[in-house]
Structure 1
Amino acid sequence: MVVLHVKLGDQNVFLYETSVTETTDTVIRELISVFNGRLKIQRICMEIEELAEHGTMLPHEMQGLNDDQIEELKLKDAWAEKCRPMGGFTYNKDPLCRRNGQQANEAMRKVLAGAMTDAKAMIDKKLCNFSKPLTLKIIQEALNILRGAVTIVYPMKLPPHDTIQMEFTNMEDLTGTQASKDVIEPSKAQLWFAGRQILSGKILKEYLGNNDKTKVVVKLNQLGEGPPAREQVITEHVRRQLMAAEFKRQEELKIRLN
C-alpha cells in the first residue's frame, strides 16, 4: 500500500494509506472526508468543553441576552427541563450567554473529558507521532466515542438547536465562522503531487508510478488557490547540517594550510 503524506500548504495534516491502482476520484473524496472529519471532531470537542461547564445551548432568540433582557422579553428555555444532565447540576453562568448554565456534576464532566481525550488522541498527529495512517473508520470511531459520552451524560439527548447535536446529525451551519474557511468543499477540492494536479477520472499510478510500497507527499487545496508551493529538495534541518559540515571542513582546511 502506498502512504500519502497529506499536507495543507506547509502544514503536515495526516497520513493516508491507499493503493496506486485506486481511482483518483476515490482517493480525493476519501482524503477530503478524513480532512473535514478531523475538523468536525475538533469543533465538537471545543463545544463539549463548553457543554461540560455551562450546560446545553440556549434557544437562538435567547443567546447573547442578559438575565434582565430575557425577563423583559419574557423568553423561556423550553429545553432546560427536558435536557438536564444525569446526576443533577449546579448553576455556572456562561459568560458568553450561549448556554443555560446547568453545569454537569464532576463525575459526568469526567466522562466528557475522557471522551475528548480519547477522540483527540485518535486524530492528533503529534500524539500519534505522525506514524499511523488515518482512516474514515478511525474518524467514525472518534465521533462515536464523543456521541456515546454525550448520551451518557444527557440520556434525553441535547436540544436540536445545540451545536453539538447539529454536528452529530450533520446539520451544522458554519456560515460566517472561521470554521467555514477551514473546511474544504468536496466540489472544489484539488490534490497535487510534485507540482502536478491529480485529476479526476484517472488511476493513481498514472501520477505516482507502479510502486505500491512507497511514501509520497501530496498537497490539498481548493479551486482558485493555484498550485501549492513545491516541497523543498532538502529539509531545513538537513540544510543546516550541511552548512555546519561545510563550515567545519573550511576551518579544517585553513588549519592545514597554515
Structure 2
Amino acid sequence: MVQLHVKRGEESQFLFSTTVDAPLETLIQQVSAIYNGRLKVERLCSEISELADHGILLPPNMQELTAEQIEELNLKDEWEDRCMPSGGAVFKKDEIGRRNGHAPNDKMKAVLMKTVEEAKALISNKQVQANVCVTMEMVKDALDQLRGAVSIVYPMGLPPHDPIRMEFEDLEDLSGTQASQQVISEDECQLWWAAKELQRGKKLQDYVGKNEKTKLVVKVQKKGLGPPAREPLVTNEQQKEMMMHYYRRQEELKKLEEANDDRYLDSEWADRRALKRQFQGLTNIKWGPR
C-alpha cells in the first residue's frame, strides 16, 4: 500500500493509505472528505466545549445583549425550557453573550468533555507520529461519539439555530468565518506532489510508478492558488540536530587545539636538562660584569 502524508501548507494533517492503481479522481474525493471531516469534528469539539461551559446558544436576536437590554426589548428565549440538560442546569454566565448560561451539571459536563477529548484524539494530526492512517470511518466514528454524548446530556435536543445541531444535520453556515477559509470543497481540491499537480483523470502510478511500498508527502491546495511551497530539504528537527552536531564539533576542535598548545615548553619547569645543569652548577649563571 502507498502511504500518503497529507499536509496543508507546512502543517501535517493525516496519513492516508491507498494503492498506485487508484484513480486520482477517487483519491482526491477520499482525501478531501477526510480533510473536511476532520475540520467538522474540530468545529464540533470547540462548540461542545462551549456548550458544556455555558449551555445552549441564544437566538440570534438575543446574542451579545445585556440582561437589561433583553428585558427592555422584552425578548424571551423560547428554547430555554425545552432544551434543559439532564440532571438540571447550573448557571454559568457567558461573558460574550452567545449562550444562555444554563450549563450542564458537573457529571454531564464530564461526559461531554471526555467525548470531546476522545474524538479529538481519533482524528488528531498526532496520528501521523504514531504512523496511524486515518479513514473516513474513523471520522464518522468521531462524529457519532459526539452526537451520542450530546444526545445523552440533551435528550430533548438542541435549538435549530445552535451550530452543534446544524453541524450534525450538515446545515452549517460558515460564510464570513475563519473556518470557511479552511474548508476545501471536493471540486476545488487539488493534490500536489513534488511540485506537480496530481491531475484528475490519471492514476497515481502515472506519477510515482508501480512500487506499492512508497511513502509520499502530498499537499492539499485550493484550486487557483497555484503550487504550494515545496518541502524543505531538511526538517526543523534535522536542522537542530545538525546545528548541535556542528556546535559539539567546534567545542571538540577547541579542546584539541588547547591540548596541542606547546607554549608550555618555554617554561622553566618544562626544561628536561634543568636537573643536569643544576648538578653541574650551571644554573643562575649571569653573563656580564659584576
Identity percentage over the alignment? 46
Shift of 1:171: 0.5
What is the aligned partner in structure 2 of residue 38 from structure 1? 38
Residue 147 to residue 232, structure 1, CA distance change in 2 (3 Å): same
Q: Which structure has the larger Rg over C-alpha atoms?
A: 2
Structure 2 residue runs without a partner (length 5+): 262-290
1:63-119 CA distance string (max 9 Å, x none)? 111111111211111111111000101211111111111111111001001100110
1:170 and 1:81 map into 2 onto residues whose CA distance is 25
Residue 99 to residue 240, structure 1, CA distance change in 2 (3 Å): closer
1:200 and 1:5 map into 2 onto residues whose CA distance is 19
Is the Cα–Cα contact under 8 Å of residues 3 and 215 in structure 2 kept in the other structure? yes
| Structure 1 counterpart of 2:220, one-letter code | L
Is the Cα–Cα contact under 8 Å of residues 12 and 128 in structure 2 kept in the other structure? no
| Structure 1 counterpart of 2:166, one-letter code | M
Is the Cα–Cα contact under 8 Å of residues 194 and 230 in structure 2 kept in the other structure? yes
Shift of 1:183: 1.1
Q: Does residue 229 of structure 1 match 2:243?
A: no
Shift of 1:11: 1.1
Q: How does 1:100-111 map to 2 (within 5 A)?
A: 100-111=100-111
What is the aligned partner in structure 2 of residue 186 from structure 1? 186
Is the Cα–Cα contact under 8 Å of residues 14 and 128 in structure 2 kept in the other structure? no
Shift of 1:13: 1.2
Q: Does residue 168 of structure 1 match 2:174?
A: no
User: Secondary structure of the equivalent of 1:216?
Assistant: strand
| Structure 2 counterpart of 1:126, one-letter code | K
Q: How does 1:1-258 map to 2 (within 5 A)?
A: 1-126=1-126, 129-239=129-239, 241-242=241-242, 248=249, 251=253
Shift of 1:43: 0.8
Task: Give the TM-score taking structure 1 as reference length.
Answer: 0.92
| Structure 2 counterpart of 1:212, one-letter code | E
Task: Give the TM-score taking structure 2 as reference length.
Answer: 0.83
User: Secondary structure of the equivalent of 1:64?
Assistant: coil
User: Secondary structure of the equivalent of 1:186?
Assistant: coil
1:236 and 1:171 map into 2 onto residues whose CA distance is 40
Structure 1 residue runs without a partner (length 5+): none
Shift of 1:231: 1.6
1:159-202 CA distance string (max 9 Å, x none)? 11101000111100011111111111222111101111001111
| Structure 1 counterpart of 2:190, one-letter code | Q
| Structure 2 counterpart of 1:24, one-letter code | L
Shift of 1:251: 3.9
1:128 and 1:72 map into 2 onto residues whose CA distance is 54
| Structure 2 counterpart of 1:121, one-letter code | A
Is the Cα–Cα contact under 8 Å of residues 15 and 130 in structure 1 kept in the other structure? no
1:128 and 1:117 map into 2 onto residues whose CA distance is 17
Shift of 1:245: 5.5
Residue 242 to residue 74, structure 1, CA distance change in 2 (3 Å): closer
Q: Give the alignment's Cα RMSD to 1 decimal.
A: 2.2
Q: How many aligned positions are there?
A: 257
2:97 and 2:60 map into 1 onto residues whose CA distance is 11
1:42 and 1:240 map into 2 onto residues whose CA distance is 31
1:127 and 1:222 map into 2 onto residues whose CA distance is 24
2:173 and 2:67 map into 1 onto residues whose CA distance is 27
